[in-house]
Chains A and B, each alone.
Chain A
């Protein structure tokens, strides 16, 4: 699927890293007396001033509940909230904004599908396929619904490089599957999965696909129409927006047929003690007062990213990936975990004889922010027989100079633990 590949077009407009860094206040600070090197973007991204301003402006000027009030502020808030939905729809190339449901994040979006779609469609003996590289948030919701319905959850394996085994996937599909839950980009390995191909195979076998795009949207243009995916979810905070907001895209006929997830205000058509009827999607899935400021600020984050453009972003990040891979491979005893040919700028690694948890305080003291742990992908750690990795993950505002600082910090780790 060409849309999911990093763009390496040499004609892509170059990214002015210093200029974009200027837009992110959090990047300009000292940690332990040294300039911060923020390489924990797969956990969460920093926020541009435009996003901060949008939140501030909302609360100062037009804070009101959406869809309900008939006053000026409520009107402004509703317009901005619905405008944000349109921005998300365009960002994902969704046919219609009504197919975008605002959620608290990617995790809630997946839980919504697992609970609502799963409850209506899964029964005893049915199979849900999840890739072995999924984040726990695209495994556990399926285990929960499987337990409730009697369905089973089976893993799709990957090879030593971290590439999904499509042959094994096709075989599993041929044995019968109702749902395929798979990530577009692995948070711990960086693997970019061929979602379009995965969807084609699933549809041929009569299965529905839930694509987790949390790690994809900050790095590449995601096109849900080209993917033909049935459900796609992402989190706002990973794409330079605030925490506590995310979105679910779903095919219209699937969203229409699904029962509600949460009950409450906003999601109803009529409430009577003799029976309640529900609103149309997306309102059916947005019970209660939503994260209005979050949604509007997510819209601002999307505007910001699109103004830079994914051609420039993917070209710059490909450079970081190539530079970082070569630099890390030159560190004695360092083993990169995840070597897929199609990869985002995520570097998971171990160092011979040094526990990942021993590395993190040294890296922190060198002001290098990385993540240590299993990254909510314990099956991936089990697959490689390791307890944890150190993960450095880049965004478009990172530089090769920062990768040099990571390497220098790793050399320090080695000196200390020698």
Chain B
């Protein structure tokens, strides 16, 4: 199940490639963040926080079994718009996949292709990696 209006990571990559300058890519990232599904206020609790991010990030996940296959669905949100854009990309990459599929994903390569990381500060890169680690941990637990 893709995350955002049936958008795939290839759509996002094409979108990024089409946009020339940094400002346009930045705005595109913000637009992606605005497409995140609504996050329950009651889920914004300490236990759901992803630590290692400068801004606050909450993440909830649950396991669904569909056609006999176990898939992990998750949702996350931040109080910073840019981070919501990054979450949108992560959801497009990971959401609704089986644990084995999740663990096989090279998110670093995808982010390299998006040519995004050079525009993120090192501390924000750490935050992004903290989210990826949290997702991979979920996958490992259910693998």
Interface residues of A (CB under 8 A from B): 354-355, 357-358, 360-362, 364-365, 372-373, 387-388, 416-417
Contact present for A417 and B81 (CB under 8 Å): yes
List B contacts of A416 (CB < 8 A).
Answer: 23, 26-27, 30
Q: Is the interface of B mostly helix, strand, loop or mixed?
A: helix
Docked Cα-Cα span, A362 to B124, in Å, equals 14
A357-B80 in contact given A364-B121, A387-B56 (Cβ < 8 Å): yes
List B contacts of A388 (CB < 8 A).
Answer: 54-55
Task: Give chain B nearest CB distance to A25 CB in angstroms.
Answer: 23
A357-B54 in contact given A364-B121, A387-B79, A417-B81 (Cβ < 8 Å): yes
Task: Give chain B nearest CB distance to A352 CB in angstroms.
Answer: 13
**CB-CB contacts of B77-105 with A at 8 A, as 1s and 0s?**
00111110000000000000000000000
Docked Cα-Cα span, A362 to B120, in Å, equals 10
Task: Give chain A nearest CB distance to B25 CB in angstroms.
Answer: 11
Docked Cα-Cα span, A326 to B56, in Å, equals 32
List A contacts of B55 (CB < 8 A).
Answer: 355, 357, 387-388
Docked Cα-Cα span, A358 to B79, in Å, equals 9
B69 at the interface (CB under 8 A from A): no
Sample 25 A-B pairs with CB under 8 A, ordered by A number.
Answer: A354-B81, A355-B79, A355-B80, A355-B81, A357-B54, A357-B55, A357-B83, A357-B124, A358-B82, A361-B82, A361-B119, A365-B22, A365-B23, A372-B54, A373-B54, A387-B55, A387-B56, A387-B79, A388-B54, A388-B55, A416-B23, A416-B27, A416-B30, A417-B30, A417-B81
> How many pairs of residues, A versus B, come closer than 8 Å at their CB atoms?
39
Known: A361-B120, A387-B56, A417-B30. 8 other contacts (CB 8 A): A354-B81, A357-B54, A362-B26, A364-B121, A373-B54, A387-B55, A388-B55, A416-B26
Docked Cα-Cα span, A416 to B28, in Å, equals 10
List B contacts of A357 (CB < 8 A).
Answer: 54-55, 80, 82-83, 124
Task: Give chain B nearest CB distance to A222 CB in angstroms.
Answer: 32
List B contacts of A387 (CB < 8 A).
Answer: 55-56, 79
Contact present for A361 and B54 (CB under 8 Å): no
- A-contacting residues, B1-29, CB 8 Å: 22-23, 26-27
Task: Give chain A nearest CB distance to B129 CB in angstroms.
Answer: 16
Closest 10 CB pairs of A and B: A355-B80, A357-B80, A357-B55, A358-B81, A358-B80, A358-B82, A357-B54, A355-B79, A355-B55, A365-B22
Q: Which residue of B lies closest to A373 (CB)?
A: B54
Task: Give chain B nearest CB distance to A97 CB in angstroms.
Answer: 40
Docked Cα-Cα span, A373 to B121, in Å, equals 13
Docked Cα-Cα span, A358 to B34, in Å, equals 14
Docked Cα-Cα span, A387 to B30, in Å, equals 20
Docked Cα-Cα span, A362 to B121, in Å, equals 11
Docked Cα-Cα span, A416 to B22, in Å, equals 12
Docked Cα-Cα span, A387 to B55, in Å, equals 8
Docked Cα-Cα span, A53 to B30, in Å, equals 46
Docked Cα-Cα span, A358 to B30, in Å, equals 10
Task: Give chain B nearest CB distance to A101 CB in angstroms.
Answer: 33
List A contacts of B23 (CB < 8 A).
Answer: 365, 416
- A-contacting residues, B57-83, CB 8 Å: 79-83
List B contacts of A354 (CB < 8 A).
Answer: 81
Docked Cα-Cα span, A282 to B86, in Å, equals 52
Q: Which residue of B lies closest to A354 (CB)?
A: B81
Docked Cα-Cα span, A376 to B56, in Å, equals 17
**CB-CB contacts of B18-60 with A at 8 A, as 1s and 0s?**
0000110011001000000000000000000000001110000
List A contacts of B119 (CB < 8 A).
Answer: 361, 365
Q: Which residue of A lies closest to B85 (CB)?
A: A358
List B contacts of A355 (CB < 8 A).
Answer: 55, 79-81
Task: Give chain A nearest CB distance to B105 CB in angstroms.
Answer: 25
User: Considering residues A357, A364, A372, which has the most beta carbons from chain B within 10 angstroms of its beta carbon?
Assistant: A357
Q: Which residue of A lies closest to B54 (CB)?
A: A357
Contact present for A361 and B26 (CB under 8 Å): yes
Q: Which residue of A lies closest to B127 (CB)?
A: A357
Task: Give chain A nearest CB distance to B84 CB in angstroms.
Answer: 9
- A-contacting residues, B93-131, CB 8 Å: 119-121, 124
